[in-house]
Structure 1
Amino acid sequence: MLENKKNVLFDMDGLLIDSEALGIKMWEKVFAQHNEPFNPEAAYKSIGSNGLAAQEMLEKITGNRYYFTRFREDKIAETRKYLETNPMPVKKGAHELLTYLKDNGYTLVLTSSTFEPDVLFSLKSAGLDKYFDKFVCGDHVTRAKPNPEIFNKAIELYKLKKEETFILEDSRNGIIAADAAGIDVIGVPDLVDISDMTQPHLLCIKENLLKVLDLIK
């Protein structure tokens, strides 16, 4: 299944770090501070996306395409305040998988819908920054997942071959984007169920990153 693969494109939130659950807690706190009702459905359906696609979805659910954007800086501040005394939680198997891939010569690229400053902050807080020197982040593209732009840009920027690459994603949007890019993807679910997904390039679904490591070895 992965015999010819040399490159791995990684999502970050919900895949490498347990930030999705933390993020929802921070959103709840910020909305409470502003005496605004919090819509959990909007939060869960935003996972794995940002930009125009997320705005359109939020407008359908809440009537406000800027439902989260208007409080984004407050949420970032609350998250960083929390992380001053608490390390960013790391997903099971992240260190083991990344260490194995690095030691065995794989090219690792982080392809996250999160903007670069927050990506770098989160990776450092989680102790995962040592594994990555190649990035394509949400502020490097104009169209967010489920659009495939972020993956196509990574392939072009780092001169990779799609047939030698696979993607690790936890979100529905990420898997749809990987499939649209024509790149094989392994799903590792976090907060959102992906068990019903049947995209042609979805190779399999594994419960955690340790199971992915077993597959690669």
Structure 2
Amino acid sequence: MKKFEAVVFDMDGVIFDSERATMNCWLELAEKYGIENMEEPYLACTGTTDKRTREIMLEAYGDDFPYDVYAKEASKMYHEKYDGGRLPMKNGVHAILDFLKYEGKKIALASSTKRQTVENQLRDAGILDYFDELVTGDMVSKSKPDPEIFLLACEKIGVKPEDAYAIEDSYNGIRSANAGGLRPIMVPDLLPSNEEMEELSETVLESLIDVVGYLRN
């Protein structure tokens, strides 16, 4: 088995199929209001905080773009569709969490999403108790790709970054984990791996089931 003490997970796009769910809400809004080319700026926002997402959208559509109004409507749509445990989980979530618990490894979360949302979604899915620590977007001052969120997660679980794997789906997440000295594993979601990601990651795998196999060997 690989030598490591902890795994730090991203949440959106790694544990939940929420990146796709959120994008579908935004694409629905774009169609409703005639906003063109929404997919490209949305994908640029993956793995970032609400603040950085707002900046990216204003850069794409101009300072007069009513981002806050649209974000509120997209959020309402999302919660109506997926709250209460209806948010689909990615394949292999229970398998990897059970494996890590059985092996006595620390489990942390480093998500750019707000803490209350993170807690609600993990609780609704019945997996909150697996996590030793949650570090969320409202607990750090810098967004991914800055390593602050991963370094704080390692600090909270008492593990050196080099002894922790980070599981990420987004480019900014992999950049963040690599910059923090963790061992990044990319499990691509909306964005495919590319040459930079191959270079920054210890490995790129198709699913969390594959990650369990990788860690076991």
**TM-score w.r.t. structure 1 length?**
0.88
Q: Give the equivalent residue in structure 2 for 1:161.
A: 160
- Identical columns (%): 30
Aligned partners of 1:85 and 1:133: how far apart in 2?
23
8 Å contact kept, 1:13–1:19: yes
Q: How far off is 1:74 after superposition?
A: 2.9
Structure 1 range deviating more: 186-195 or 22-31:
22-31
Aligned partners of 2:2 and 2:85: how far apart in 1?
39
Aligned partners of 1:66 and 1:160: how far apart in 2?
43
Q: Give the equivalent residue in structure 2 for 1:37.
A: 35
- C-alpha distance 64-157 of structure 1, shift in aligned 2 (>3 A): farther
8 Å contact kept, 2:198–2:204: no
Give, as a single letter, the amino acid of the residue that structure 1 aligns with 2:35.
P
Q: How far off is 1:67 after superposition?
A: 6.0
Aligned partners of 1:64 and 1:157: how far apart in 2?
38
Q: Which string of whole-angstrom CA distances, capped at 9 and with x for unpartnered residues, describes residues 54-80 of structure 1?
A: 444333322249764443333332222
**TM-score w.r.t. structure 2 length?**
0.88
Aligned partners of 1:84 and 1:178: how far apart in 2?
29
Give, as a single letter, the amino acid of the residue that structure 1 aligns with 2:13.
G
8 Å contact kept, 1:146–1:176: yes
Q: How far off is 1:12 after superposition?
A: 0.5
Matched, 1:206 2:210: no
8 Å contact kept, 2:85–2:125: no
Q: How far off is 1:197 after superposition?
A: 2.2
Number of residue pairs the alignment of both structures matches:
215
8 Å contact kept, 2:167–2:186: yes
Structure 1 range deviating more: 51-60 or 112-121:
51-60
8 Å contact kept, 1:6–1:106: yes
- C-alpha distance 98-10 of structure 1, shift in aligned 2 (>3 A): same
- Structure 1 stretches of 5 or more lacking a match? none
Give, as a single letter, the amino acid of the residue that structure 2 aligns with 1:77.
K
Q: How far off is 1:84 after superposition?
A: 4.6
Aligned partners of 2:28 and 2:85: how far apart in 1?
17
Aligned partners of 1:161 and 1:40: how far apart in 2?
37
8 Å contact kept, 1:115–1:137: yes
Q: Give the equivalent residue in structure 2 for 1:49.
A: 48
- C-alpha distance 172-66 of structure 1, shift in aligned 2 (>3 A): farther
Q: How far off is 1:125 after superposition?
A: 3.0
Q: Give the equivalent residue in structure 2 for 1:108.
A: 107
Q: CA RMSD in A?
A: 2.3
Q: Give the equivalent residue in structure 2 for 1:63.
A: 62
Secondary structure of the 1:8 match is: strand
8 Å contact kept, 2:106–2:157: no
Matched, 1:97 2:96: yes
Aligned partners of 2:82 and 2:50: how far apart in 1?
25
